[in-house]
Chain A
Amino acid sequence: MGGLQKKKFERGSATNYITRNRARKKLQLSLPDFRRLCILKGIYPHEPKHKKKVNKGSTAPRTFYLLKDIRFLLHEPIVGKFREYKIFVRKLKKAYGKTEWSAVERLRENKPTYKLDHIIKERYPTFIDALRDIDDALCMCFLFSTFARTGKCHVQTIQLCRRLTVEWMNYVIASRSLRKVFLSIKGIYYQAEVMGQLITWVVPYQFSHDHPVDVDYRVMATFTELYTTLLGFVSFRLYSSLNLVYPPKLDSNGESEPKEESEDDYAMNSESYLEKLSALSASLARVVSSADEEEAQLDQFPSEGEDMEKMEAREKELKQQEAQKKLFEGLKFYLNREVPRESLAFVIRCFGGQVSWDKSVCIGSTYDVTDETITHQIIDRPSVGKQYINRYYIQPQWLYDCVNAKILLPVEDYFLGVTLPPHLSPFVEEKEGDYVPPEKLKMMALQRGEKPGNEQEEDEEEEEEEGEQEEEEEQEEDDNGDEEDDEEEVAEEKNLKKMEEQRSQGKSLHVKVTPGKLKVENKARLEQEEKAEEKRLAIMMMKKKEKYLYDKIMFGKKRKVREANKLAAKRKAHDDSEKAKKKKARK
């Protein structure tokens, strides 16, 4: 014999991971501090491949971190700050206990604070990285900015969040980068394209929150701490990229200046400044006061023939985008007091419209109701007292739908008291075989420039299409079924034959004039059958693993088809019942 006995768990994966508790002890931090550190530094647990090996033979559920990550945390200056803070709290307690008020004061003055700048820089080495990860930051800041100042978190945090969100919205307006808006039951989703990154955030509706008790606000506050820092730096960079002054200042010589006389209604100039900013009605001051910065014409690079199509498509897209950016240009909106002002003002300004509201609603209104040049008045009540003849009174959904459709939709469907058409999510991109709601089809037709013709015809067409689709789908299903269970093959074959016959009959309706064609079709059918059988036989020869995967994929596909069919059926039933109701009403 000879040599040392190898000990277990001293090499390999067991040494690459560390449990949470051990990590905490290694860093000499309390659990909340460790949690905070992980949040700030973006350290997350890892699931080892062989849990039992890593867990030294035990199967107890544990959270594992990579040892590398924890070593990386060891050198973090913030850890020192945490310890300082701990000491500070201890001293403060002591001073309180001894009622040494001067000491308390002195300690409070020297309360240790920390900055997160270096962490931001470290986590996001480039600006684009930061921009990519800003979705959550925006959502969180928008949520915190709606909190009441009731002690769930620091008032300063709330104010900072509000400031940052306002800055963000102002940037989006200035850069006109908003792309999609969606009114959901949770809140309003916005999607903007900033420097080529799609950024989505959700803003809750303006109500006070009933704060749930099972939510740890400390965790949320830690995240917010990080997010405000991140958002601030990103805002700074974005503002400077547009030559805007940061922190934002209102453009003093803008044409749409808020009325001065309303000034004295508000307390102080300094106090109302943020509010004026958040009114979103005025443009921002620029560092270099460029009169009208012309969009630099994109140079065209002549390329090879195969790329030409792509180029053209891209150009077209660009043009469309430009058109979308100027969607509301030249329109003058007036917001009634019952509509969500901030959201609407934001959307309208993002697309170049002018907007105003009653001056008692919010600071920063630019014109009155009586203005004759107003083209649209956004209103969300069943009726209105005095109506001006030269403007549309429309419901707010119109604006959002226009933004999503990228065209100005006909206003008739959105008049006062009219049942609104469904509001569709702009984030859904239907693939082949997915269910497309008929409203979306209609919208797509409008986008293509087709006039909305006789609706009934269209409906019928759609139905036909759907019917065909269904048939195909069913056929597919049948095929799959065959492959799966051989014992039912006979029955299914029959079924298939019947189906095929039916189909051939159905299809031959327009062919029937020429009797000679029947054979040809028969041949085709035979061929198809042959092919189907070939496929079935080939599937029989698949390896076990591949067969499993194949079955899974096919199952998923079938489920999708089933769901789409279900939706279509539901819609059809609904439409039928509606029609019946209408008929009854007519009678």
Chain B
Amino acid sequence: MKKAGGKTALKRSKEEDEEQNQIFNFNRKPADEDKDDDLSDSEDSVYSGLEDSGSDSEEEEGSDDNDDKMKEKKEGEVSEEKKKHEYEHDSSDEEDIRNTVGNIPMEWYKDFPHIGYNLDGKKIYKPIRNKDELDDFLDKMENPEYWRTVHDKQTGSDIVLSDDQVELVNRLQRGQFGDVNFNEYEPMVEFFSSDVMIHPVTNRPADKRSFIPSLTEKEKVSKLVHAIKMGWIKPRRVEDDGRGRYYNLWASEDSSILARHKMHLPAPKIPLPGHHESYNPPPEYLFTDEERALWEQQDPADRKLPFVPRKYSSLRQVPAFSQFIHERFERCLDLYLCPRQRKMRVNVNPEDLIPQLPKPKDLQPFPTTRSLVYRGHSGLVRSISVSPSGQWLASGSDDGSVRFWEVCSSRCMKTVQVGGAVKSVAWNPNPSVCLLAVALDSVVLILSPSLADKQVILSSERLLSAQQEGEEPAEGNGSVVWSEAEGEELNQGLRLKIQHPKAVHQVVWHAKGDYLASVMPDNTSHLQVYIHQLSRRRSQNPFSRNKGLVQCISFHPIRPYFFVATQRSIRIYNLVKQEMTKKLQTNSKWISSMAVHPGGDHVICGSYDCKLSWFDLDLSTKPYKMLRHHKKAVRGVAYHRLYPLFASASDDGSVIVCHGTVYNDLLQNPLIVPVKVLRGHVMTHDLGVLDVTFHPTQPWVFSSGADSTICLFT
């Protein structure tokens, strides 16, 4: 029973303990609220045991009687204490701590007989008998106080709450103050009010310093004054809202415009939008699938339109344009980063660019239509030549034959098989003889076609035979061999053979008909040109030095000059003085052909790089005019003997006839007008027209082509 009594006592003490706890807790509450601290923090401080005051005092008291019945004693003391100074005590967050284990889960002491240690370090033992579930149940059923019984885990004892305590708990749960007598709605007393009072708020007499000027203040003020004087401190600026306040800026428009403004280039305006940009464009402005794919593939800089035209059926469906800010930004960049330049737009009418030339109609006569075709050759017709009378035409072809045609009827009068591809034919320009020079392989043949008056034939025979009587040849150049034709060849009209050391490419007559020159192009030696004299059967090499690959040669029609065209230039030699008089620069890559004006002052020269250059020998060594009429290499050029015409034949299958008037007046430049493009040859093996020559008296032009025909244009 005693034990039981003790137990109850203990229980009570616990109760009180709890109560105290509560009260302390309650006391702590407002402070907590004020501080607005973390709750767990304060709890920590509660259980940390480092608190002073209450616990200390308790300790002192507890240390006085340190016997076994400590609990009872303590209980009594505590109750006394409680009565004495429950509220006197300052309400710091205190806890009377009997168990010093701290805020730990009490299960840790489950297996021990004790439950912790008191302040003296003595074990606190658990109550002897633990309640089991059954006890608990029975208690619940039987004990009317059960609902107000609280189990204290720290001491392992049950505490029954008193009525006051229950009331307190209820109050706290309702959120009310723990003290019943505390009035939380007390009327506020205003310390400062609108009413003027007679007495001062405080009764303190005024300081002395409130009567005398302050030295420190003076010092500060003087500093400021100094700063203001020195301009270190500026007066507070008046808030002038400059932005958004506008006035008539151009009230006095002075006309004095700075030089800058004259030079100023205003930025070009943004181009205005076209139909493409409409939200509802006509259907043709929309992209097809291919166009769209192309647009997407293209680099943004290459695109013609910076956007894809779109069609929306109504205005409300039009979305925002995502590039809008970009475009404005680009414009800004253009405005301040782009160099500006005045660009003169070429605003010319293209028709004005076309030069005003005399009409071809006014420049007649010139050949206009293809009137005759001479067929018979079976290979390329390399070269043609017209007899000085204009009645006969000789042609040499790759098929190894030389044919003679009657010009007017296009009949082939005679065919001479010479046994080799004919490179060049040339009719003796002397009308009193009838001879033809033919170049093939390394031989130059002199033919007497006997297509003329008897007298002429006779005179030509005489010329040849006279040479025969002359004397023994073979002086000077041993490399050239003159020989007579014999037998069958004689019947064909072959008279003389001039054997050269190398392949002969071209043969030309002097205007008088006694001399002829032949070309053996060879880059390596000076033996490229021979001049032969027919009457004396003599040959000589006029040049002792190699000046480059000789392309073609020509005699001056009147004076003793000799034209030699090398690859890029034309040299003019004076045959009498035996010196070079001029060197013409053609500005072309590779000369193909050359012709000398019958007046002798002008030269035209065709080249493989499609150019035709006209030289005025009196004017300059540079071409007076470069004509780029042909699309392909120029193969042959020719002057007309009487009419102011010249023609050029090219690989593109055309013969271009130009009018080229040469004035006697030295001050007037020659007038060159293309008058007709003649076409009649078929392109074969990428070759078109190979040679061109004019009729000596009529404004007719002959052309020989790679298609083994010869055409006459009248």
Chain A contacts to B: CB under 8 angstroms: 35, 38-39, 42-47, 63-64, 72, 109-110, 113, 115, 117, 120-122, 125-127, 130, 132-133, 135-136, 139-140, 143, 156, 160, 163, 182-187, 189, 200, 204-205, 207-212, 214-216, 219-220, 223, 228-229, 232-233, 235-237, 240, 246, 338-340, 380-381, 395-397, 419-420, 422-425, 427-428, 437-439, 485-487, 489-490, 530, 533-544, 546, 549-550, 553-554, 557, 567-568, 570-571, 574
Contact = CB atoms under 8 A, between A and B. Distances in A.
Given A126-B253, A380-B314, A139 B282 contact: no
Contacts of A43: 336
Interface in B287-341: 288, 307, 309-310, 312-316, 318-329, 331-333, 335-341
A240 B248 contact: yes
A204 B320 contact: yes
B318 A205 contact: yes
A367 to B, nearest CB: 23
Nearest to B277: A184
A177 to B, nearest CB: 17
A-B interface, 6 closest residue pairs, ranked by CB to CB distance from nearest: A207-B320, A427-B272, A571-B284, A47-B339, A184-B277, A570-B284
Given A140-B328, A215-B329, A437-B282, A207 B631 contact: no
A131 to B, nearest CB: 10
Contact of B325 (A64, A215, A236, A338): A215
A419 to B, nearest CB: 7
Contacts of A487: 631-632, 652-653
A236 to B, nearest CB: 4
Interface string B243-283: 11011111001100110110010110110111101111111
A496 to B, nearest CB: 14
A124 to B, nearest CB: 8
Nearest to B324: A204
Interface residues of B, number: 94
Interface of chain B: mostly helix, strand, loop or mixed: loop
Contacts of B234: 110
Contacts of B254: 125
B253 A567 contact: no
A205 B320 contact: yes
B320 A420 contact: no
Residue of A184, A211, A220 with most chain B CB atoms under a 10 A cut-off: A184
A219 B244 CA distance: 21
Interface in B554-601: none
A553 B272 contact: no
B321 A185 contact: yes
B355 A541 contact: yes
A127 B253 contact: yes
21 contacts: A45-B339, A121-B250, A127-B250, A132-B266, A182-B278, A184-B273, A184-B277, A200-B270, A205-B318, A207-B320, A237-B249, A339-B316, A381-B316, A395-B315, A425-B277, A437-B275, A487-B653, A490-B679, A538-B354, A538-B355, A550-B350
B15 to A, nearest CB: 57
B686 to A, nearest CB: 11
A212 to B, nearest CB: 6
Contacts of B356: 538
Contacts of A208: 320
A185 B279 contact: yes
A209 B269 CA distance: 25
A252 B378 CA distance: 106
Contacts of B257: 125
A179 to B, nearest CB: 12
B283 A187 contact: no
B631 A485 contact: yes
Interface in B59-105: none
B493 to A, nearest CB: 39
Contacts of A139: 270, 328, 331
Given A115-B242, A182-B273, A232-B244, A570 B249 contact: no
Nearest to B234: A110
Contacts of A536: 677
A420 B340 CA distance: 43
B692 interface: no
Interface in B596-650: 627-632
A186 B632 contact: no
Contacts of A182: 273, 277-278
B189 interface: no
Nearest to B243: A160
B331 A136 contact: yes
Contact of B673 (A338, A419, A541, A549): A541
A275 B340 CA distance: 41
A545 B131 CA distance: 121
A489 B325 contact: no
B249 A233 contact: yes
A330 B262 CA distance: 48
